[in-house]
Amino acid sequence: VQKEINAQHSIALTTFGAPTRRASNSATFEECYRLTGNNLYNSNWGWQGGKKRNAREVEAFDPTVILNWLWKPNTGTTLNTGVAFHKSFYASSAINWYNSADPRPDYYRYLPSYYESNPAIAALYTDLWTGEDDSFRQLNWDKLYQINYLNEMEGKGSSYIVENRHSNQASWQLNTNLNMRLTDQLALQGGAGANYTCSSYYKTVKDLLGGTHWSDFDQFAERDFPENPDMAQNDLNNPNRKVGVDDRFGYDYNINQVGANLWLQNSWTFAKWDLAYGATGSFTQYQREGFMRNGRAPENSFGKGATHTFFNYGAKASVMYKIDGRNSFVAHGYYGTRAPLSYNAYVSPRIKDDVISNLNSEIIASGDISYEWNYRNFKGVVTGFYTDMRKGTERTAFYDDLASTFMNYALTNVHKVFKGVEVGLSYKLTSSLTVSAAANIGRYQYKNRPT
């Protein structure tokens, strides 16, 4: 919706958002694809009541509202100011289990290769995987319900549930951009912005699968530290908690982030040359806020944690040389710093408020040079690029089979170099048919041994 107040002022309101729900799959072994004869094999679904049911579903909704004010105080000057609110709802479901057999049909102990030393058992599992009945190679929902039903008869909670892993965001953004044409050759652009984002991470019970409740324990801590039962508590403020459908459990924390930036750019236009240069400065700050006092970090998990602040800068320049009206050379250069992502900064944020050591802004130097042509039917560009990134931070979370637990693997002082050549071509065969092609060859390397 847009309202033009007068020749100088106009206001526009934009809103959009579409809820989605989709099934998903997960990685599996090449052996499973071979046994099923299906490269699209998905182990996450099974039959229930004569219908397919997938344990892994994604539900997402991203409503967004943007309000813009456009002001043209005089010819050649435009001020565009906007405020936006974005709310993101994202939930990914999965099966969870406690003190029970792994329900996933592609668990490595259910594969023939695990029994290579015993050919008879390996042959039995091969027959189960390749037989007419697909109940072995797909989720057995009836079995999960039956186990939970037997637990209920003994006064126990569910051994199997379907959980939702939530990753929600609420963000506000304010931006204003100024564009001024000072002379026929000189233009000035500048702007400022501020933002606030609250990212919420937690789990809820989606389906108890016929059971009465779920016990909120950390089964890995319970196994690793049997002498200290407090370490198995996901929330010492609510010990031995029993949760039901839609209750939060496991972990519950926010990452609150604020930021601001300023930028300025000048551009010159001449008959043969175009020049531009600019600079930017930014501020980033984030903080973890925990809503559970985890037994593995009782003094460092609940409440607001330490604040981490970064000031960054950047400078860029570009030049274009116009050989003629159809051919030109263009070069760009950039040098600046970038704050580490909050995702990479925290070690085990589900449990505690710890960040990796040597947390610094990343240093980036980048440049490229291009040759561009634009003829009536044929146009294209060839670009060579080089980017050097130093003092980077990376974090990977994974399940360690040797340690039989989830791990966080962090790298600091990462030095990477990206370099290569890109080509883009477009040829107009007829007035209504155009053929386009793109190609890239590059080398992307880690240049050191990160700590």
Residue 111 domain-assigned (yes or no)? no
**pLDDT value for 398:** 82
Cα distances (angstroms) measured from residue 89 to each of 96, 172, 272, 340:
21, 15, 51, 24
Residue 230 domain-assigned (yes or no)? yes
Q: How confident is the model at residue 220 (pLDDT cuts 50, 70, 90)?
A: confident
Residue 369 domain-assigned (yes or no)? yes
How many angstroms from the chain centroid is the CA of residue 151? Answer: 38
Give which of 366, 335, 358 is closest to 410, Cα–Cα.
Answer: 358
Provide the residue range defining the domain that includes 63. Answer: 2-27+55-96+157-446
Determine if residue 26 is left, alpha or beta; phi over 0 gives left, psi from -120 to 50 gives alpha, anything else beta: beta
φ and ψ at 88, to 5 degrees? -115, 125
pTM of the model: 0.90
Residue 260 domain-assigned (yes or no)? yes
Residue 339: count other Cβ atoms within 10 Å of its Cβ: 23
**pLDDT value for 51:** 95
Average pLDDT, the chain: 95
Q: Residues 60-71: pLDDT tens digits?
A: 999 999 999 999
**pLDDT value for 409:** 86
Residue 188: both structure tokens together: 């000035």
User: H-helix or E-strand containing 354?
Assistant: strand 354-355
Residue 236 domain-assigned (yes or no)? yes
Q: How confident is the model at residue 371 (pLDDT cuts 50, 70, 90)?
A: very high
Residue 397 domain-assigned (yes or no)? yes
Q: What is the DSSP string of 384-409?
A: EEEEEEEEEEEEEEEEETTTTEEEEE
φ and ψ at 273, to 5 degrees? -130, 145
CB under 8 Å to 327, separation ≥6 — which residues? 371, 372, 373, 374
Q: Alpha-carbon distance 315 to 228, whole Å?
A: 54
Residue 133 domain-assigned (yes or no)? no
Q: What is the DSSP string of 211-223?
A: -S-EE-B-HHHHH
Helix (H, G, I), strand (E, B) or coil at 129: helix
Q: What is the mean pLDDT of residues 280-300?
A: 97
Q: Alpha-carbon distance 99 to 151, whole Å?
A: 12
Residue 143 domain-assigned (yes or no)? no
Q: How many domains does the chain have?
A: 1
Q: Specify the CATH number for the domain of residue 280.
A: 2.40.170.20
Q: Residues 323-340: pLDDT tens digits?
A: 999 999 999 999 999 999
User: H-helix or E-strand containing 125?
Assistant: helix 119-130
